[in-house]
Chain A
């Protein structure tokens, strides 16, 4: 099946700094990418949807100025957590879809810890 990678797999950053997470579709062109956040013992929560070359659509309650999403190519989307705080510590997961029939393929996730 289609493969989606994320980098880094784990990152620790200091409070107030920014961190970028990359999501790549390795063997298909992803017209749409999704970013999810998952807190411990909770389910995945959709943060935003991004289409290649367009601005991302954010879910209600997700700050677009804090979670910057760039989907500049058909194989790469980035999520930048700006001015990170300890409450941003979470597991961030991306998924990618290559168009009809819109099956989603998930990345392995990135564990962010803000100290």
Chain B
């Protein structure tokens, strides 16, 4: 599977948009970009995924560059409860395995 690179940590002010980048320069044509987050001492929570088009749901937006080598997860109005480790994962959708990198520790500050 292609690997991802994320900044180890980021801060964001409460109420502002949090933009979390992810580089996946070796992504293959059939690999999707998935985002999960893990709040302290809990299991990972699915956020969003996409192939090449931008995606939006009730939690976040996912912007994938045209060359698909990078993406950005956007939390439009970050709250203190969004403080978590955010994982960007690339995987073939119809394969079972999922491998986690180090992720980005997002801290939302009042």
- State whether A91 and B41 are in contact (beta carbons under 8 Å apart), knowing that A43-B103, A103-B46 are contacts in the complex: yes
Closest to A9 in B: B41
Contact with A along B32-64 (1 / 0, CB 8 A): 000010100111111000000000000000000
Chain B interface mostly: loop
Closest to A110 in B: B43
Most chain A CB inside 10 Å of its own CB: which residue of B42, B44, B45: B44
Give the interface of A toward B (CB within 8 A): 1, 4, 6, 32, 34, 36, 43-46, 49, 91, 93, 95, 97, 100-109, 111
User: Would you list 28 pairs from A and B whose C-beta atoms are within 8 A, ordered by A residue?
Assistant: A32-B96, A34-B96, A34-B97, A43-B102, A43-B103, A44-B44, A45-B100, A46-B97, A46-B99, A49-B96, A93-B44, A95-B43, A95-B44, A97-B96, A100-B94, A101-B93, A102-B93, A102-B94, A102-B95, A102-B96, A103-B46, A104-B98, A105-B46, A106-B43, A106-B46, A107-B43, A108-B42, A108-B43
